Structure 1
Amino acid sequence: GEVPTYKALFNWEVNDLVRLRGGYQLANRAPNINELFLDASTQALTMRGPDYCRSDTRELSGNHPSNPNRAAAQALCAALIGNNTSEFSADPDNYMGGRGDGVVLQSNSGNRNLRSEEGETWTMGGIFRSPFQNAWLENATLSVDWYKAEISDAIASVGAQTSYDLCFNRDGRSNPTYALNDANGVCANIIRDEVNGEAVQVNAQFQNLGLIKTSGVDVNLNWAAGLADLGFNAPGSLALNMSVSRLFEFKAQEFPTAQALENAGTLARGGMFDWRMVTTLRYMQNNWDLALNWRHLPAVDSAQKVTDPNTSIKGADAYDIFNLTGNINLSETLAISGGIDNLFNAEPERIGAGQVLNIAGVNGGGTVVLNGAGSTSAGYYDVLGRRYFVNVKLRF
């Protein structure tokens, strides 16, 4: 069928000092060939096991003696099996059929009934030039842009473990009535043997799932001035560029019945910092220039904080890294550039660690991780240390 997409943008130059811009866009992403037509392929997966329908399961929302909804869980198991004369139905309280190691087959395949992902985006901002006739301020330009985006019907596949967890209401919200026709539609993915009742396969088709909401503001400042104009008895000029991004929210809902969880301020989804800043100060004179780049990341919580507010897993402290670069044009045909990355040899932040104990100086100082070795994120925290580089460019 038809899928609408449109946008309305405006760009208004109020005067020489102010320009406003913004707009609204409704966008769609159609499912790709793989998501639509992927041939079924099967893989063996190990779940937490024993599975939800065995009487020795460790899943408290399954066929576990302490589950207050055990009868409903057993009824769901029977419905998934689809045979009232199966080994499970004969004695559900003591059912030990199938494998106890949690191994199940997962069938991955495309889905021709997928709908397009839909995204709405709102933007509003402006560019503001300094109105002051002062050497310190006249060459300053500030841009501020606010955005808000919402994506619905995100396309993804649901794995075997997740299908069982949602079907058997492990989170207490996904399927409270233990209905075979659950709101998330994941119980239909589960296939069990009609005779012995064991877990056989879980179909992991691509489906339209979840919702993402995010908003924030991006600020950029540019400034330049000659040192002589600033009153200094020195040649050359300075230029400053500062970019600051502020994330107000990044809420993600994985399934229709799931709670929308806030990811901002955590390392979830690759790193959702509350804000970040990059600043470059450059000195220029005739045929050469020197630049100092400073990147700052604030303290951030661990990814586990999203689903477990009381987690003991540590995030990361604030992080600063500096890079120094220089360029010189020796002639019209020869140029040399070089620099020092990680100028002060900043160590990468350790993330994913458990409780960290500080050791007293009389005992040698330092720290010890009491739970988990920890790791880092090379995309944000430099793991190579201080290093040097030189480039030579020769034009013919």
Structure 2
Amino acid sequence: MFKRGSISTAVLACLGVYSGAVLAQQAPAPQQTLERVEVTGSRILSVNAESPAPIQVITAAEIGASGVANLQDLLLKNPVFGTPGISRTNSNFSTSSAGVATIDLRNLGSNRTLVLVNGRRYVSGVPGDSSVDLNSIPTDFIERVEVMTGGASSTYGSDAVAGVVNIILKRNFQGMILDAQVGESQEGDDRKRKFSATFGMNAPDNRGNLMFNLSASKQGAVYSRDRSFSAVDQYTLSGFTGEPADIFTPLRPFYSSFAPQGTFTFRDATLNANRSFTFDPNGNQIPVSTNGPNGDGVGATGYDRSAYRTIAIPTDRLMLATKGEFNLSDKHTVFFEGNYASTKTKTRLEPFALASTDILDSGFIPAENFVNGVRVRNPLVPDTIYNNALDRDGDGLKDFSFTRRMSDIALRGNKADRDTVRIIGGVKGEIGKNWNYDTYAGYGFTKEGQTGTGQVNVVNFRNALAVMQDVNDANNNGNTTEVICIDPVARAQGCVPANVFGANTLSPGAAAYLHAPSSLNTKTTQALAGFSLSGEPFELPAGPVGVALGAEYRRESSSTEFDALTQTGLNAGNALPNTAGSFNVKEVFLEGRFPLLKNLPAVKTLDATAAVRQGRYSSVGNTTSWNSGLDWGVNDTFRVRASYAVSTRAPNIGELFQAPSQTFPTGLIDPCQGVTAAEQSTRATRCLANPGVAANVAANGEFTLNQADAQGVSGFDSGNPNLKAEKGQSLTLGFVITPRDLVKNLSITTDYYRIKVKNAINTPGRQYALTQCYNGDASYCQYITRRPTDQGANSAGSLEFINETNANTGGDFVEGIDLTAAYATKLAGGQLNARLSYTYMRKAYNKPTPDAEIDRFDGEIGQPKNRWLLNLGYNIGPFGLSATTTYIGKSHLDDTFLNNPDLWVTIPTKSQASVKEKYYLDLQGSYSWGKSTQIYLGIDNALNTKPAPIISGLPGNVTGAETASIYDAIGRRYYIGLRYSL
């Protein structure tokens, strides 16, 4: 009798992927019972489960040999995956979803990578998005992971444009496995604690099976100050004066001009010019020298932000997973799956950088005020300002502007509690001899509650700066020498005067009055149901025809709610309005597998596949996806496969409905830099048309930016309810070689892939908008706002806002070759296993708009042309050794950055803007006592490979880490663990 089940060891060999352990564990014996199995990428159950699309398999043994606490850490080593959209090492500055673990196939984006659990969708871990948080899936409950690259929307629906990651949980497990592990980095941080317990039991008469997994892990923080490459605030030389020999040589230190003691600027009546000063530690007024008179940080009045920034945020996880099956009869089975995950993260970064423009739009703070028509001095304002300042905003009052690091309030950061729940259940079984059915329904949600510190209440700050000496005892407390807030309503609400002149000058009462704790609550839900029928309705001369058909329904919703001050931007930070939305989709699908030829010369088998899916979305209307494939078994040694798919991706909730949300982009080059009044180019003409730019040029001779303005660009990102579905076209051509007669246990696969996404849902990019506005299409200027003339000679005309809206853009394209090779053999009384995975990215680009030139990104940092992963494992008796080598090829900076004519520096060649290849080596050894106990220990990044220097100001930089996400910024780390099975 045939049974529906998981893919067998023999089937994996047919796929051309060796699934034996790289490990220190014995591989299980091959299954003897023939089963009808479902291969990722198909809904048809078949004994001969072969796929015309390439599939890579990562086994439970490999997961165990990696020692990872999170599946993301292992998957990202595989060269088919791009840099992660979100991880615990690149999300310290995230306003939400910090510490979430997402994956990205082919560098096409995590929202184009569909993550499944046991072949079914999983609820998103990111509000407004479709990305799954791998934190919520316990690694020790996983049997294997099947990775299929290429479009699979006809099988699974939207989001499978780049491919599918199908996480298969353990099945029919009996007994108990306990796993405990501790570890830390060479520097004594990144402390890891992990514990997992898996239990399984069969029902009486083997009519069912019930399994549980309880997992807990803690991963500690890594701070920027504890790594030499990020210990000091720094910035790239690009965009500033100088001609560096190496673009990666930073200005170091490059301290922030926003310092705790403050910098104060006023228009001096005597000099008739702007004048600035700050304070030394003794409270004396001194000139501003951000990085010291010699630029070496000695005697600097600036602020080192790296002393507080975080490379890896601490992450705690608690997970409970369960699954079970119960046979109603020999042919019908009920099943269920349940997941609960609680994740806690904590971000930390430097105190808030406040400018007077955050408090008043003009940026001019009165040094005096009118009280009942009488001019009253602010007694906290130093004499230097009060005696010499002019009125600059026309209100008749002397004024000044300032910047200040609010270190006497609190560090910035947030604590987040994230809960994910997923429950799914159904009935599956056989109908007649050749038909199988599967019906299911499920519900899942992810909730996040977040509290933050370090922001300021802008309204309260305005009140706290408008103060007077209470000579008339206005508050009736008998004290006529104290300083009080002028507004009686503000006083009644607890207003405390704010002394911002110097470091740590705010009283505890003032700090409490000004502090604006933030909050965020999000919820993402997913409800789904489906039915499929698979069978063999008739036979052709070459074998039975396989058919699958079915229908599915899915409803998704998402909401994001910030506190009132954050929504309006009245906490001096990002203005982040609430966002909410939902959609539903009804789909039907049909799939067929057709054996065309069999047992002929040069044709052992020749099978064709075809599938189509029709969907109706409440958001974008009707969609159609389809694919076709051909699998040609030439003989027992050589097999050729090909597939072509047209996939669709409907816009997610955030892309459709996101309210204008403020962000602070980095790595931008202002096209107006260096423009002079005499220049006659299109760029100069458009730049000088802005009054602020013209005023800046008139005062300085050319358009000049100061440090604060270069780092102070903001903008708003918005959704677009008029988006249409994007369409992906993917082609794969490959062959599989299994030369059993010549070399046993050797498997080689080679596949060419090409994926093109039309009408891709993206934003054109802020740098593209800048370039077009001043050198090309002037319509892009509507998205750009510059500071007005009243901001002073050095700040006037600087970029203030560059806004972006989601659109169906020109598209994305990736093309390359994958190679895998696996080999196993007996050696010196032991077992040697080896596997190589290599990816060559031949070409990749995106088009910001349909009419734009393509922007190549193959070979750029984060998307190297060459990547490979080599696993070697050897076990003999109770001993086991494994080694994993990861290679990241030589890469260069973003071409858009290199070719920008507005850079102040010149980069003649890519070689002067390239980073060398990187090798990472992970090692693990183990020793087993009998069949029940195993101790293992490992070293990750054993060579202590340093990250490439992608410093602040360069594209791809992760703030605080001073590198890009693709590189390891933590360094060498060790772990030791114990497994016990019963």
Q: TM-score range, shorter-chain basis? A: 0.5 to 0.7
User: Residue type of the partner of 2:974?
Assistant: Y
Partner of 1:362: none
> What is the alpha-carbon distance in structure 2 between the residues aligned to residue 210 and residue 144 of structure 1?
30
- The match for 1:347 is 945
Q: Is the 8 A contact 2:920 2:941 kept in 1?
A: yes
Q: Is the 8 A contact 2:918 2:945 kept in 1?
A: no
Q: 2:746 aligns with which of 140, 162, 166?
A: 140
For the Cα contact (< 8 Å) 1:314–1:352, is it kept in 2?
Answer: no
Tell me which amino acid in the other structure corresponds to 2:948: R
Distance 1:15 1:272 in 2: 37
Selected match of 1:315 from 909, 914, 918:
914
Letter in 2 for 1:348: K
Question: Please, which of 805, 815, 823 is the counterpart of residue 223 of structure 1?
Answer: 823
SS of the residue 1:347 aligns to: coil
Query: Residue 914 of structure 2 aligns to which amino acid in structure 1?
Result: G
Q: Shift of the alpha carbon at 1:58?
A: 4.8
- Superposed CA RMSD in Å reads 4.1
Match of 2:976 in 1: 390
Structure 2 CA distance for partners of 1:105 and 1:128, relative to 1, 3 Å: closer
Q: Deviations over 1:211-265 (max 9, x none)?
A: 22211111111111112xxxxxx31122221111111111222233432132222
For the residue of structure 1 that corresponds to 2:804, the secondary structure is strand
35-44 vs 291-300, greater mean Cα deviation? 35-44
Q: Report the equivalent of 1:208.
A: 808
Residue number among 839, 863, 886 corresponding to 1:272 in the alignment: 863
Aligned to 2:926: 327
Tell me how far apart the structure 1 counterparts of residues 713 and 944 of structure 2 sit (CA, whole Å).
46
Higher RCO, Cα 8 Å, sep 6+? 2
Question: Matches of 1:163 and 1:187 in 2, distance apart?
Answer: 7
How far 1:352 moved relative to its partner? 3.5
Aligned to 1:281, the other structure's residue is in SS state: strand
* 2:722 is aligned with 1:124: no
Q: CA deviation at 1:205?
A: 2.4
User: What does residue 256 of structure 1 align with?
Assistant: 850
Q: CA 1:332 to 1:166, structure 2 compared with 1: closer, same or farther past 3 Å?
A: same
What is the aligned partner in structure 2 of residue 83 from structure 1? Answer: none
Cα distance 1:351–1:16, how it changes in 2: closer, same or farther (>3 A)?
same
Residue segments in structure 2 that go unaligned for 5+ positions in a row: 1-620, 699-704, 787-796, 900-906, 953-960
1:150 aligns to what? Answer: 756
Q: 1:109 to 1:69 in 2, by over 3 A?
A: closer
Q: Is the radius of gyration larger for structure 1 or structure 2? A: 2
C-alpha offsets along residues 365-394 of structure 1, whole Å, 9 cap, x if unaligned?
A: xxxxxxxxx943463346322x33211012
- The answer to whether the 8 A contact 2:763-2:848 is kept is no
Q: Is it true that 1:5 corresponds to 2:628 in the alignment?
A: no
Q: Secondary structure at the match of 1:5?
A: strand
Offset, 1:149: 0.8
**Amino acid of the residue matched to residue 146 of structure 1?**
Y
Structure 2 CA distance for aligned equivalents of residues 47 and 238 of structure 1: 47
Aligned to 1:39: 659
| Structure 1 contact 262–306 (Cα < 8 Å) conserved | no
Could you tell me which amino acid in structure 2 is paired with residue 392 of structure 1? L
Secondary structure of 2:772's counterpart equals helix
Alpha-carbon deviations, 1:95-134, whole Å to 9, x = none?
A: xxxxx9799985543222112222111001121111544x
Aligned pair count reads 323
For residues 31-64 of structure 1, what are the alpha-carbon distances to aligned partners after superposition, in whole Å with 9 as ceiling and x for unaligned? 1122222234567999999x99xxxx6575xx95
CA–CA distance in structure 2, aligned partners of residues 42 and 353 of structure 1: 23
Task: Go from structure 1 to structure 2 and tell me whether the alpha carbon gap of 1:389 and 1:248 turns closer, same or farther (over 3 Å shift).
Answer: same
Asked if the contact 1:58–1:64 (Cα under 8 Å) also holds between the matched residues in 2, the reply is no
CA offset digits 1:178-225 (Å, max 9, x no partner): 5x5xxxxx3554689xxxxx9998663221223222111111111111
User: Over residues 130-167 of structure 1, what are the superposed CA-to-partner deviations in whole Å (9 max), with x where a residue is unaligned?
Assistant: 1544xxx2221111111011112222345777545423
Say yes or no: does 1:16 pair with 2:615.
no
Structure-1 separation of matches of 2:859 and 2:765: 27
Aligned counterparts of 2:733 and 2:628: Cα–Cα separation in 1? 12
For residue 72 of structure 1, report the CA deviation from its aligned partner: 7.7
* Cα distance change, pair 48–253 in 1 and its aligned pair in 2 (3 A): closer
What is the alpha-carbon distance in structure 2 between the residues aligned to residue 47 and residue 388 of structure 1?
Answer: 35
CA distance in 2, matches of 1:44, 1:340: 37
1:303 aligns with 2:898: no
Match of 2:583 in 1: none
Choose which of 111, 115, 129 in structure 1 pairs with 2:724.
115
Tell me the equivalent position of 2:966: 379
What is the rounded CA distance, in whole Å, between the counterparts of 2:888 and 2:784 in structure 1? 44
Q: Please report how far the alpha carbon of residue 281 of structure 1 lies from its aligned counterpart in structure 2 after TM superposition.
A: 2.1
The aligned counterpart of 2:883 is 292
The alpha carbon displacement at 1:29 in A equals 1.2
Aligned residue identity for 1:18: F
Does the 8 A contact of 1:304 with 1:313 survive in 2?
no
- 2:680 corresponds to which of 67, 88, 92: 67
Cα pair 2:750 2:818 within 8 Å, conserved: yes
Change in 2 beyond 3 A, CA 1:190/1:244: closer
**Counterpart of 1:338 in 2: which secondary structure?**
strand
The change in CA–CA distance for 1:220 and 1:68 in structure 2 (over 3 A counts) is closer
Q: Contact (CA 8 Å) 2:764, 2:809: kept in 1 or not?
A: no
Residue type of the alignment partner of 1:383: I
After superposition, the C-alpha distances for 1:263-320 in whole angstroms (9 at most, x for unaligned) are 22221xxx12121222122222234321222222333223358643725854222322
Partner Cα distance (2:714, 2:949) in 1: 33
Mapped to 2, the partners of 1:347 and 1:327 lie a distance apart of 24
C-alpha contact (below 8 Å) 2:648/2:725 kept by paired residues: yes
Q: For residue 342 of structure 1, report the CA deviation from its aligned partner.
A: 2.9
In 1, Cα distance between equivalents of 2:840 and 2:761: 27
Change (3 A) 1:272 1:162: closer
1:348–1:201: structure 2 CA closer, same or farther, 3 Å change rule?
Answer: closer
Consecutive unaligned residues in structure 1, runs of 5 or more:
79-86, 95-99, 181-185, 193-197, 228-233, 355-373
Residue 230 of structure 1 corresponds to none
2:249 aligns with none
Q: In the alignment, what sits opposite 1:281?
A: 872
Write the distance in 1 (CA, Å) between the matches of 2:970 and 2:800.
Answer: 44
Q: CA deviation at 1:15?
A: 2.4
Assess, with a 3 A threshold, how the Cα gap between structure 1 residues 190 and 297 changes in structure 2: closer, same or farther: closer
The alignment partner of 1:2 has SS state of: strand
Answer whether contact 2:645 2:730 (CA < 8 A) is retained: yes
8 A contact 1:287–1:330 mirrored in 2: yes
Contact residue 683 and residue 774 of structure 2 kept, 8 A: no
With over 3 angstroms needed to count, the CA separation of the structure-2 counterparts of 1:339 and 1:256, relative to structure 1, is same
- Checking the alignment, whether the CA contact within 8 Å between 1:266 and 1:306 is kept in structure 2 is no
Q: Residues 275 and 202 of structure 1: is their aligned pair in 2 closer, same or farther, counting only changes over 3 Å?
A: closer
Task: Assess, with a 3 A threshold, how the Cα gap between structure 1 residues 209 and 67 changes in structure 2: closer, same or farther.
Answer: farther
